[in-house]
Amino acid sequence: MRNSNPLRRMAGTLLLLTGLLAVGCNALDADKAVFADARAKGAMSASSPPGPNASRPSATVEFRSPSAAPQPVKIALEGDAFHVQQAMEKAGAWKKYSRMNVELTRKTPQGRWTKMAVSCDRGKRKVDPQCDYQILPGDVLIIKEDPSTIVDDMLSKVSPIRSMLTR
């Protein structure tokens, strides 16, 4: 006979949700088999003209600003594990924008693009460790300038004032 006790069902649901929340941004591990096969075959590598750097894997960092056209910067992936933090430092992202929104786009073996949000601490100029994904060949790191100001931050904390101002 099935146990239909609502308290047990709620406890089980809470346990499941706690487990899912504990996984966080690390749910997608780039070293797992989903991307390992494609990385080994070079299926996700970006096309580049022949030359001295043709054999080196690369990724793209794309700067997007509301007032300018997108600016792609190709970066060479160095070492065994190249992460978002290193890509942002190498491309000069911390110097370019004081406020930004960051996302990593990656082509899956099925040919679709997937987006992964990257949260950053702009004061410390660091990517949150749980979102510091490994950069794979062909990945595109999109860095969008955030035009908001500290006043916007303060108004978002005080919702009644903000709702009166936006009427």
Confidence grade of residue 41 (pLDDT, cut at 50, 70, 90): very low
Tokens of 78: 């160095």
- What range defines the domain where residue 52 resides? 25-165
HSE toward the beta carbon, residue 147, CA cutoff 13 A: 5
Tokens at 153, concatenated: 């931050």
Distance CA 116, CA 141 (A): 10
Look at the chain and report how many structural domains it folds into: 1
Question: Considering the domain boundaries, does residue 43 fall inside one?
Answer: yes
Phi, psi of 137 (to 5 degrees): -55, 135
Q: How many CB atoms lie within 10 A of CB 133?
A: 22
Residue with more model confidence, 92 or 5: 92
For residue 94, the tally of other CB atoms under 10 A from its CB is: 17
Rounded CA separation 61/29 (Å): 20
Compute the distance between CA of residue 43 and CA of residue 138 in angstroms, rounded to an integer.
Answer: 9
- Cα(62)–Cα(72) distance, integer angstroms: 4
CATH number of the CATH domain containing 67: 2.40.240.130
Domain presence at residue 121: yes
Is residue 54 assigned to a domain? yes
Segment 90-140, tens digit of pLDDT: 999 888 888 899 999 999 999 999 999 999 988 899 999 999 999 999 999
d(C-alpha 24, C-alpha 15), whole Å: 15
* Any domain includes 9: no
**14 found inside a domain:** no
Please answer whether residues 43 and 141 qualify as being in contact, where contact means their C-beta atoms are separated by less than 8 angstroms. Answer: no
Give per-residue pLDDT as tens, 60-87.
999 998 888 999 999 999 888 899 999 9
Q: Quick check: is 110 in a domain?
A: yes
Write out the two tokens for 59.
């990724």
In a domain? residue 15: no
Q: How far apart are CA 31 and CA 114, in angstroms?
A: 16
Which runs of E-coded beta strand occur in the chain?
58-65, 68-76, 100-107, 113-118, 120-121, 126-127, 140-145
In a domain, 133, yes or no: yes
